[in-house]
Structure 1
Amino acid sequence: MVFCGEPLAAGDFGAHLSQFSDARGSADSLEEAARRAYLDEKEAVHDCLRTLRPAMHGGSFRGKDDDETFDGWLEQLDNWGRGKLPLAEANFVQKLARSKLRVKKGTEVPELGLFKALEACRDNDEQVETLKRELYPQVLADARDWVSRRLSEQLEANAQMGFNDMITGLAGALDGDGGETLARRIRQQFPVAMIDEFQDTDPAQYRIFERVYRIGDAPTAEPDTQHDLDGPGAPEHDATALILIGDPKQAIYGFRGGDIYTYLGARHATRGHHHSLDTNFRSSEAAVAAVNRLFAFAERSLPRAAFRFAADDHNPLPFQSVGANGRKETLCLDGKPAAALTGWLIADGNKDNGCLNKEGYLREASRHCADRIADWLNQASPGEGIPSAGFAISTNASDDNLKPLKAGDIAILVRDRSEASAIRNALSERGLASVYLSDRDSVFATAEARDLHHWLKAMANPESVSTLRTALATATLGLGLAELDRLQRDETAWERVQERFLGYRLRWQRRGVLPALRQLLHDYRIPERLLGAHQGQRRLTNLLHLAEWAQQASDTLDGDHALIRVLAEHLDDPGHDEQILRLESDADLIQVVTIFKSKGLEYPLVCLPFLCTYKEISGQSGTPLYHVDDQPLLELAAKKEMAKEGFELADDERLSEEVRLLYVALTRARHATFVGLAPLKLGNAKSATLHKSALGYLLAGGEAIPDLTNLRERWETMSEGFDAIALDAIDASGDSPQIQYRPVTNELATKGARTPSHRPFAPWWIASYSSLAQKGATAPETPEAEVLEEEHLDARLVPAAREAGAPQPGTLHAFPRGPGPGTFLHGVLEALAEHGFDSALDDTGLLARLAQRCRRRGWEEHSQALTDGIRRWLTTPLTSITQECPDGEVADDGPVLASLERYRAEPDFWFATHDAITPAMDKLTRQHLFPGEPRPQLGYQRLNGLLKGFIDLLAEHQGRFYIIDWKSNWLGPDDDAYHQDAMRAAMLDKRYDMQLALYLVALHRHLRQSLPDYDYDRHVGGAMLVFLRGIAAPSRGVAAIKPPRAFVEALDDILAGQAGSASTTARSNDPGDDMTDDQDSSGEAMA
């Protein structure tokens, strides 16, 4: 790296930085002093300026004679003086600095304090800029070294290595102490190496091959003294070979690190061992001869030869003409054989010199190119009689064996996306379909992909009003403004739309995303509407392509949100995925391709409509790279005037690479190439600047080609007496009519039906207890959402307990009921856990805050009951296994919240499920938990994906782990309502038995992974429901279970897709099953 031509060397710039900081810090104080000077002599300043007004320099003070302008300057000065405007934005005020106040010669300027103060500001600003220029390269060098060092540290810390790290690491190792030993090992493992496309090799890569295969060593060099690391052996030199295959004329990837100077160095090192392929097997004899003619003309007539490396009678990169194997067929256009190379001479007929600016060149070249292609394809159409455009075995286009020219035979080569857009628009206007085959071209870059993203988000979360509104407003969905406005005002219509998207979500979960999207397309009649619109077929194809991609992607992703995330990533970076394929058939459409991407490809007919364009290296074109003594230098100066020599050298290399790019472009055609020639004028030049382009160089060697006449003369000089090169003069006045393509529409498709390549869809979704109880519901995203769903579920599934009397005031039985109060009570328990159960009881401030929460909700009369309830919840022992105790009895060894040392509130769990069906789970649960007791049947569902949930409390007590789930259900008006039969009935009625069973499986899987000596009977205490309102009852509101180990393992087998397994022993490892392992409230790991 260099800055202004000097090496970028790191050093101590602390002193410079301190000076810079001081100067920057002085700016505000100096400006404030100038303001004070103005305010102190405001009237004198205004009088002085009015006096000086006639003598002010007209160039510096343009408009001084206009009263409105002059008054505006005084107003600006006053606003600045009163601090309403910074000096940087006050242009007139800046001109009042003593050295910048330009007046007519002989005019005396009074020595006012303001002028001197502004001069001090100006001096300080100049010092800041000077210090900034001096600091800039030092800071860049420091940043370069810091980033490099930091990146290395991060890669090493993460045990990662990038591609460049492998290259530089191996190169460094070969240059190190054990380099020769390493090189010998590599030679022994790979005695023969062939490197294709060697012209794109960078210096670091070449250094590796140079060291390993000893490039440049004479064949008679002394053999190694040790040929086998383990003992002597035969000489290895004769058994090794390095074959470098490449064409330096096609070295066009300098922007990717390819370095032609590396190739030239290797060519010099291997002199005497060169072999050339002198026959072209791709193109016709005329096409090869035309390219030979153009480059040979430059090779013999220009001092630096065709590829601009010749100097002092030495040319390391000469152009050598090649022969052609030829082709059997001949391209015929307009009823006769086409010239191999045709120049379309495009000019502005309204100007004497014919010069065109870039905009005009792109427009006129696009217009003519599209007209010619439309004309050729019309000639080839069966509807036009005997085709006169196509490929003939003989040279007679009227023969019956003429194979008509097709759109897919034509390639248009461009530099970039803007040129592609210009030609594709012109083609589209003439009814011609094309495809842009570039690295960045992707269906994910279309509007349809963005709209699909909004649709999927709305399907996954139709409850979100903003998300659903965004999906409905997408252009592809096609709802009109009136309809969108009606949905805003009509609540019933809005609910119908929400229900529709809920249906899409259910279809997505059960059948896959593709059926859901197809249903949406049908419901909103999207195909019918798109096919009647401009480019509708393209847009519909994009949608169907995206839908198929979504289905395939979902087969390998975990759930709807993963698919949405991956789609969002593709939208952010649409051009770097191997799976991205355009839907247009390459055989049926005109191909628009960048010249870079065309390298190595071939096309029957090639158009280069914009061949005269070029991109000169300037301050706006990025960081210039150039070579000195074959060493690459990267110039970091941002302005050309700061490093003129570096920019000029970089532009010289730019032109050389563009010549090679031109060579690649002109050698893609099998039969014919058509190029757009024009006296192109870029920037503010008065005459054409075509000589700065690659084609201009080949024709004139850097001499100016000022106008149309000169361009014509130079082309004719180059092609004189050579029939394979033609010139077609075009008038760019725009008077010629546009040629429209006339396709034949009654042809039958001849291609066979496609075979689907994607795998059958296996429904994958995230289930939960709530989604099992409410068939089709999605799993809650947060603990609060799960609590709310359970509370709503309770209200829907079970009728309210029959009132046996009014609840006693001042007790929890009188506390409000419903989803809101239930969620509130869960929140209270969560707050107590976060604070710490052991200290919550003595924290009167905490209890007061919880009571205040109660009062804020309008439940002031129940605040004391809540406080009493909190004390009981914290201090009451919770029975461990009620199921094994006689009715009404409670075990004494249950956990007490205030005494717990290890617990976690609201832990979430996720574990894998594989083809588990709810009937099997339900049957097993009925057999082992309260057999014979009635309960609602679970609806049929297939669990394939993940099961998630949130456990209210996971606690360890006396070496055993307990699952505790808080229930706010109201079973009756007093403590007597909370006996075991009533709580068991509520448990079964709401299928809490299944909930606790699933939670036990989650705990079982977690402990199996976490405890090396895990034993279910010894480590699991069970699962309990704590009915919060019954904490003062004899039962303490606790309904607890600990089913046998065989049940938990059998349910685990069903969920894991191993229901047929005969084994009921605990497995030691189950990849993919996990439970979040965070810290408990005391800071210790849970397990």
Structure 2
Amino acid sequence: ELARLRQRHPEASLRPERQASRPVAELALDDWRRLLDAARAAWRDGGRERVRDLVRDRKRVAGKYFRTNSVDGWLDLLGDALERGEPLIVWSIEDGQRDKVERFRASFVEGQAKPGVDLPRIDLLDAMDELLAEEERLESELEGVSIGLARRFADEALDQERDLLRESGRATHDGIVDELYRALQGEGGEALAEALRGEFGAALIDEFQDTDARQYGIFQRVFAGARPAPPLLLIGDPKQAIYSFRGADVFAYLKAKRDAGEAVCSLAVNRRSGPMLVGALNRLYAQADTPFGPEIDYERVEAADDKRDLFGRAAPDGGSVAPGAALELVFVERDNPRSPAPAEARVAARVAAHVAELLARGRLENEPIEPKEVAVLCRTNRQVSAVFEALAARGIGASVRGPQSVAGSEEAAELECVLAALAEPGRAAFVRAALSTRLLGLDAAGLLALDQDEAGWTRWVEAFANAGRRWTECGVLAGAGALFDRTGVRRRLLAGFGGDRAAANLDHLLELCHEAERRERLAPAALLRWLGELRAGLLEEPAEDHRLRLDRESGAVQVGTVHGAKGLEYDVVYVPWAWQPSGGPRADRWWIYHDPGEERRAVLDLGGPERETVQPLAAAEREQEDARLLYVALTRARQRCSVFCAPVGGPFARLLVGEPQRLENALAGLAADSGGAIEVVRDWPGDVAPAAARGHASDTADWRAREPGRPAAVGERTSSFSGLVHGAPEAADPRDLDSASSEDEPLPAESERIPLAELPGGARTGTALHEVFERLDLDAADPESVRSVLDRSLERHGLGGLGEALRSSLGRAVLDALDAPLAGDGGPRLRDLPAPARASELEFWLAARPAAGIEPATLAEVFESHGDPRRVRSYAAHARGLGFARLRGFLRGFVDLVFEHEGRWYVLDYKSNRLGERFSDYAPERLWNEMCARHYVLQYHLYALALHRLLRLRLPGYDYATHFGGAYYLFLRGMAPDRPGHGVYFDCPPAGLMEALDAAVGREGA
């Protein structure tokens, strides 16, 4: 991140300038070690007990910061940190608990004393006061070290990049600009400027609002530095300066405007939009004195004479068409009182509803609006994805927009990265960079794993080397194709969001590379330089060859980011997230801001205590760019723009009122004075008929894929329980997902209702609860630790909207499951299982290699011949109905919990299935139907077989009858300590069945 900032802003000064006076290794830790020893001694001398008794004494110490049921856990954290003795001890504690431990110091405890109470001196609290004060001093010194290292890195990264490019004979656009700027400022600069003036008698630069200080410095030196000065025309709209993240600097444009003095002209005619929309935007921006900051004005414009208002809306019966407002302001209700911002998925769904209604009733010149005439412009790529999926859910085709040239696509950058590794596979940095691309798909964990896997790394290097040799011998298509075919690049791209576009771009780029290679007879190194120059825009090639090719969704609604839509126009535009502000600079480690005391020169702030004084400057710059981004979005429309507004302090609210609480009233006033050009919508439109997808989905409505008459032959493969149950040749995830519900039998009226009756079912709930039990320390869980883990899991799996009452019930249910006996006659509890005797999420690969393969009938015969006649034998009919293809290879899976208790080993699985709303639905005798219907009987027998094989290999003297305990399935909704056995299914398969299953699956190990 720091390297990118420095690369984009090489002219920025670095602040603060202070650097560490010595390396980290030389920091004085003697005082810290002495104070740590003192704190340890006080702890061991009964300090814990004395502190515990004091802070829990409500007659002497207030309980606000020392909750009685939490103090012991916090003291445990402190004791562990003191014993570890890692500098600094507060850094060795989890972030969320660090402030709790820091409360155990004399100065803090004294601040919590009840009025009139003198607290006793406790050695541990005094020692912690001194130790933590010393750690704060060391933290300050370490911050200086960090800033010094960041400053050194920022400087050296820029120099090293220049050296590497020079050594490899390559250049980038930014590098060329930087070299030219420095040459013009250095010795011989005037001669160079004179030569350039002789070559170019005038200069006209469009889109100059996206310039930077170096580019302006170049043209100022060449053209403004001569007398008489050659013509220099700088054309730009500072209201559309939205590319600061790429290094663009609107303050450079504003300096150029000041330098021009009186020679400034403005365009007063809008040649894109209809008169009503132009008037609506004039009315909107008249609300604010300085909507874009103090140096950029909004000047009223008029529509061109040849523009007309074309938008209308048909009556519900499809009859007469009435003119429609040009600017629609949709007031978005908040999701909950604690968060004014509506949820992303909800906004996307409502946008899709609006688009559906528009396609059903909207008209342009009395003709139905086509999907390709509509665009949805978002702030982020994640929002683009959400809208794309919401439109698809309504049968409305959507196309994700990218850059206009394939050379500017993400795939172009990634292909260059991969080809660089093919050209030089011996350079580890090139290979790692290629592996991290979306094309090859390794994430940070995968790259880190290669550090410890020499054989795996060697295989990758050999793959790149082999593909590189094929490139040299047969051309780039053969070389890149060999690597891409081997690694499944096309399958990976098509499986992801926007995969059609990515695959089309990759094919297009490879074709361009092949044509250049053939036309100019380029060797690999030369072709790589050509691709770099293509991406930098340095080639004089036919632009038409590089335009993005249409993907299969070319006639669909256009969905993209505001940044990607700059320069484009559409008949109808939706701006769903106009209310959303950018993330403030406070959360960033490094900032770029412009110092008003130095003519708005760019500054790269590296941190330190002084940054609080410049934080408002950086925040104001981001707010101003938000306002410019909103302007760009609103002005993409020709006829109609629909803007979603929410009571959030983002760009739209700041434009109108400054205070989000007054937004709704401001919208009403704006519409009332607009003469019908602006309308405010509060109620959401209802669902519309499938005709909303007209012109796209209906084109293929009559086509249907032919279904195969028999399954295709398969070789060795890997499957899972989910793959067997759903008939899939390879399950995407070998973990099974819990079901939302099952059919209920009539309930006895007197049965007590379960606490989780209102908890939604489905895969997300099941995954979240599985994660809770996986992450909990089962034998030490308390209400606070359960709630902490639970909240994080709910947020992570999209269930953060659950109310407090349901969260509390969930927390109690988790504790109930831990305390409930696993058998009706008592038996162990989850809480009784110590950590050394259990393993969570135990992965297994079960060899399944009988000569003829495994089929549903194979499993059915095992259960029919060897199962318990009362229950398991009846499952055979269910097993026979499975639809998976013949399997030979491996079965992969994860057992939720494997544990040992009193010399026997067990498998255990958590289930969140909804079997009903009363405890009677979870009685032991009621669970069998669910076990059969969901094929859990097969699942636990496979788990048992995996554990049986493992114990046979690892446990000396293993005997199934002696050492294997059985399988537990816990239906968590129905468990309670006072209802032993409820929600618990248990079975121990007979030895004969297990031996038969082992033989049927194949005995080639586990």
Structure-2 residue corresponding to 1:603: 570
| Amino acid paired to 1:374 | A
Equivalent-residue separation in structure 2 for 1:662 and 1:746 (angstroms): 34
Structure-1 residue corresponding to 2:40: 35
1:207, distance to aligned residue in structure 2 (A): 1.6
Query: 2:241 is matched with which residue: 251, 266, 282?
Result: 251
Query: 1:434 is matched with which residue: 398, 402, 425?
Result: 398
Equivalent-residue separation in structure 2 for 1:161 and 1:341 (angstroms): 47
- Superposed, which structure 2 residues align to 1:359-398 within 5 Å? 359-360=342-343, 362-379=344-361, 389-392=362-365, 397=366
Structure-2 residue corresponding to 1:787: none
Structure-2 residue corresponding to 1:725: 678
1:585, distance to aligned residue in structure 2 (A): 5.3
Distance 1:337 1:677, change over 3 A: farther
Structure-1 residue corresponding to 2:266: 276
Secondary structure, counterpart of 1:125 in structure 2: helix
Structure-2 residue corresponding to 1:46: 49
Secondary structure, counterpart of 2:665 in structure 1: helix
1:116, distance to aligned residue in structure 2 (A): 4.2
Equivalent-residue separation in structure 2 for 1:77 and 1:628 (angstroms): 47
- Superposed, which structure 2 residues align to 1:191-202 within 5 Å? 191-202=201-212
Structure-1 residue corresponding to 2:600: 631
Secondary structure, counterpart of 1:413 in structure 2: strand
Identity %: 24
Contact 1:348 1:356 survives alignment (8 Å): no
Equivalent-residue separation in structure 2 for 1:209 and 1:370 (angstroms): 47
Query: 2:230 is matched with which residue: 217, 240, 243?
Result: 240
1:377, distance to aligned residue in structure 2 (A): 2.5
CA deviation string 1:69-124 (max 9, x = no partner): 55556666665666599943576775444434434456555555544443332232
1:191, distance to aligned residue in structure 2 (A): 0.9
| Amino acid paired to 1:590 | V
Secondary structure, counterpart of 1:343 in structure 2: strand
Contact 2:370 2:695 survives alignment (8 Å): no
- Is the counterpart of residue 425 in structure 1 residue 389 in structure 2? yes
Structure-1 residue corresponding to 2:181: 171
CA deviation string 1:667-687 (max 9, x = no partner): 21222212123323xxxxxxx
Contact 2:270 2:303 survives alignment (8 Å): yes
Query: 2:215 is matched with which residue: 205, 209, 220?
Result: 205
Contact 1:183 1:211 survives alignment (8 Å): yes
Query: 1:662 is matched with which residue: 630, 634, 644?
Result: 630
Equivalent-residue separation in structure 1 for 2:133 and 2:495 (angstroms): 62
Structure-1 residue corresponding to 2:304: 324
Equivalent-residue separation in structure 2 for 1:8 and 1:358 (angstroms): 35
Contact 1:366 1:426 survives alignment (8 Å): yes
| Amino acid paired to 1:30 | L
Query: 2:107 is matched with which residue: 85, 91, 99?
Result: 99
- Is the counterpart of residue 674 in structure 1 residue 657 in structure 2? no
Contact 1:199 1:263 survives alignment (8 Å): yes
CA deviation string 1:628-669 (max 9, x = no partner): 143234352558x85334221222222222222222222212
- Is the counterpart of residue 185 in structure 1 residue 195 in structure 2? yes
Point out where structure 1 has 5 or more consecutive residues left out of the alignment.
216-223, 225-235, 311-315, 380-388, 458-473, 477-506, 681-688, 750-1087
1:155, distance to aligned residue in structure 2 (A): 5.5
- Superposed, which structure 2 residues align to 1:680-691 within 5 Å? 680=648, 689=649
Structure-2 residue corresponding to 1:343: 328
1:178, distance to aligned residue in structure 2 (A): 3.8
- Provide the alpha-carbon RMSD of the alignment: 5.7
Point out where structure 2 has 5 or more consecutive residues left out of the alignment.
1-5, 315-319, 423-438, 442-469, 519-523, 540-544, 702-1006
Secondary structure, counterpart of 2:642 in structure 1: strand
Equivalent-residue separation in structure 1 for 2:264 and 2:47 (angstroms): 85
Distance 1:139 1:194, change over 3 A: same
1:200, distance to aligned residue in structure 2 (A): 1.5
- Is the counterpart of residue 698 in structure 1 residue 655 in structure 2? yes
- Superposed, which structure 2 residues align to 1:509-520 within 5 Å? none
Distance 1:596 1:95, change over 3 A: closer
TM-score normalised by length of structure 2 = 0.51
1:265, distance to aligned residue in structure 2 (A): 2.2
CA deviation string 1:373-392 (max 9, x = no partner): 2233234xxxxxxxxx4432
Equivalent-residue separation in structure 1 for 2:556 and 2:222 (angstroms): 47
Distance 1:122 1:658, change over 3 A: closer
Distance 1:581 1:57, change over 3 A: farther
Query: 1:416 is matched with which residue: 380, 401, 405?
Result: 380
Contact 1:48 1:110 survives alignment (8 Å): no
1:23, distance to aligned residue in structure 2 (A): 3.3
Equivalent-residue separation in structure 2 for 1:547 and 1:322 (angstroms): 45
CA deviation string 1:128-169 (max 9, x = no partner): 023234444444444444444555555666666544443344
Distance 1:370 1:83, change over 3 A: closer
1:201, distance to aligned residue in structure 2 (A): 1.6
- Superposed, which structure 2 residues align to 1:72-91 within 5 Å? 87-88=89-90, 89=92
| Amino acid paired to 1:50 | D
Structure-1 residue corresponding to 2:787: none
| Amino acid paired to 1:669 | A
Contact 1:191 1:241 survives alignment (8 Å): yes
- Superposed, which structure 2 residues align to 1:215-226 within 5 Å? none
1:272, distance to aligned residue in structure 2 (A): 2.9
1:407, distance to aligned residue in structure 2 (A): 0.9
Distance 1:151 1:210, change over 3 A: same
Secondary structure, counterpart of 1:706 in structure 2: helix
Structure-1 residue corresponding to 2:466: none
Equivalent-residue separation in structure 2 for 1:610 and 1:672 (angstroms): 17
Equivalent-residue separation in structure 2 for 1:665 and 1:190 (angstroms): 36
CA deviation string 1:936-959 (max 9, x = no partner): xxxxxxxxxxxxxxxxxxxxxxxx
Structure-2 residue corresponding to 1:62: 66
Distance 1:406 1:161, change over 3 A: closer
Equivalent-residue separation in structure 1 for 2:354 and 2:390 (angstroms): 11
| Amino acid paired to 1:46 | E
Secondary structure, counterpart of 2:682 in structure 1: strand
| Amino acid paired to 1:588 | G
Equivalent-residue separation in structure 1 for 2:162 and 2:499 (angstroms): 46
The count of aligned residue pairs is 614
Secondary structure, counterpart of 1:283 in structure 2: coil
Distance 1:348 1:168, change over 3 A: closer
Structure-2 residue corresponding to 1:120: 130
Equivalent-residue separation in structure 2 for 1:27 and 1:142 (angstroms): 28
Structure-2 residue corresponding to 1:8: 15
Equivalent-residue separation in structure 1 for 2:471 and 2:584 (angstroms): 53
Equivalent-residue separation in structure 2 for 1:104 and 1:440 (angstroms): 69
Equivalent-residue separation in structure 2 for 1:161 and 1:444 (angstroms): 19
Distance 1:659 1:329, change over 3 A: closer
Secondary structure, counterpart of 2:693 in structure 1: coil
Query: 2:579 is matched with which residue: 612, 628, 634?
Result: 612
Distance 1:590 1:24, change over 3 A: farther
Equivalent-residue separation in structure 1 for 2:507 and 2:674 (angstroms): 58
